[in-house]
A and B are shown apart, each in its own frame.
Chain A
């Protein structure tokens, strides 16, 4: 655990970068520090490994006041990843990853084994071990940066805009991979970004800072979006707060409606009745094993005689239990039916999700 006890940082030129911040970072959580530039988030991060020393207040890491710990010793137990990665250009990838193990004096055999393990963990092929950083792509370098930070399995990781320098597609993939990795390693992570969407996606908890180093609100993302503590926070979260919240809530959180379901063998009258009962002009068509076939116009089915004689159109997008409600909303607006169809195991029909269900969930 990392705790800030009324920590202030004033620079010699008189500016206050961090102002009386109290913050507790729980063990095993990913805490995001977010805010506009000049809000003190990076200064706050860098005080944890004493790259910057606090002017007043106390920072306690795992029960020890860090001002009493020799900085190099402290830093070797804290992983550090920055946007520009800062790999050592004169060392191979393997040597870069081995940096901290070498500093703390591991034997070469143990280091070799650990480097191989880490390359695998971050999804890099073994042959990059003997390459130099300038022979890798930006995304690969960023992975090496993460592997280097994890080398001695430190309990704490500090990450300063770690995915800021790569293009959006690679960034999104690295974020997903990192979240999966974090599931596995469960580090106590402090993560700085200026991108609120990244904060919402990555953070177990989010600390929003305002210019002048004031901590405005510290809460889990869902709570932050539901109840912003101030106008500043509401502004910073942006106009689409509702949409952002939807992105955090899984489809399984709402109970899907059964919907107007028919099978190809049903006659047109039944389809019309089902649609009318539901208040729509379409029906969901499933087979005898409740596998989703698509949807059909109820009137067309009635005119042709049997449901199977009408044109059965596929749902372009389907959602499953672990998709977000935002994905469900996206499926709704892209479908002629105006609803999202929920399936499990790829094609087993579970029901439909409607706009009313969504607004009930977030209001």
Chain B
């Protein structure tokens, strides 16, 4: 079995010993992947929230805001990262700016739709009870918009986890670095590891967010009536 032609490709797809030898590297990549995703989502939310509030407050601004974030969303990611390099070099900012920009469309849209979806009767009742505008937003409207906002965060998270790998081309990339490594060495094991781990990461993150929503919206699951 040892001499003769190379065995079927499947046998070479994953070399387990390589994984054992590179556990620390892989762990580092995974941590970086989580960091990049988390930070991009955080900045995305921080930017999307005021934009969404503006769109709710001034409905005429909604079209332009959505159009602008939509255009950003359509820029090919590779091109965007390359365009940013002259300004921010190969620092983490380059990766984060790009990743953040891609979360905006979904986060803004879902936040606006979530807030707009609040039952007008509930809004009227809140106003008539004597809520001030800000308190009404934070204590009534946002909690009720939460399911739609979290749905947006879930999509944005899964998308970002995929997109992070592209930043490997500008020196970051989290698990994406394993793709470059596999490609350069013409060796499939790192690529398979990268694919499997990023898929698992996306799955775990989504599960976590579903759990979070479940906890934050006990009222949404008490059916009946």
Contacts and interface: CB of A to CB of B under 8 A. Distances in A.
A99 B126 CA distance: 9
12 contacts: A71-B130, A73-B130, A75-B130, A80-B125, A80-B129, A85-B121, A86-B119, A86-B125, A90-B144, A103-B129, A134-B219, A134-B223
Contacts of B220: 89-90
Contacts of A88: 122, 125-126, 140, 144
B57 interface: no
A134 B128 CA distance: 21
Contact of A72 (B119, B125, B130, B219): B130
The listed residue with most A CB atoms (<10 A of its CB), out of B130, B222, B224, is: B130
Contacts of A89: 119, 122, 144, 219-220
Given A80-B128, A90-B143, A90-B144, A135 B222 contact: yes
A78 B130 CA distance: 9
Nearest to B123: A86
A315 interface: no
A51 B222 contact: no
A103 B131 contact: yes
Interface string A182-215: 0000000000000000000000000000000000
B122 A72 contact: no
Interface string A55-97: 0000000000000000111111010101011111111000000
Given A72-B130, A134-B225, A135-B224, A51 B121 contact: no
Nearest first, the 4 A-B pairs at minimum CB distance are A86-B125, A76-B130, A75-B130, A80-B128
A141 B191 CA distance: 58
Given A89-B144, A90-B143, A90-B144, A51 B219 contact: no
A164 to B, nearest CB: 12
Given A49-B128, A85-B125, 18 more contacts: A51-B124, A51-B127, A51-B128, A71-B130, A72-B131, A75-B129, A82-B125, A86-B124, A89-B122, A90-B217, A90-B220, A99-B129, A100-B130, A103-B131, A103-B135, A134-B219, A135-B224, A158-B128
A170 interface: no
The listed residue with most B CB atoms (<10 A of its CB), out of A51, A71, A78, A99, is: A99
B132 interface: yes
Nearest to B225: A134
A137 B124 CA distance: 21
Contacts of A84: 119, 121
Contacts of B219: 89-91, 132, 134
A133 to B, nearest CB: 8
B122 A86 contact: yes
Contacts of A229: none
Interface string B95-138: 00000000000000000000000010111111111111001000
Contact of B128 (A75, A104, A133, A136): A75
A131 interface: yes
A69 to B, nearest CB: 11
Contacts of A103: 129-131, 135
Given A76-B130, A90-B217, A82 B140 contact: no
Interface in A102-133: 103-104, 131-133
Nearest to A102: B139
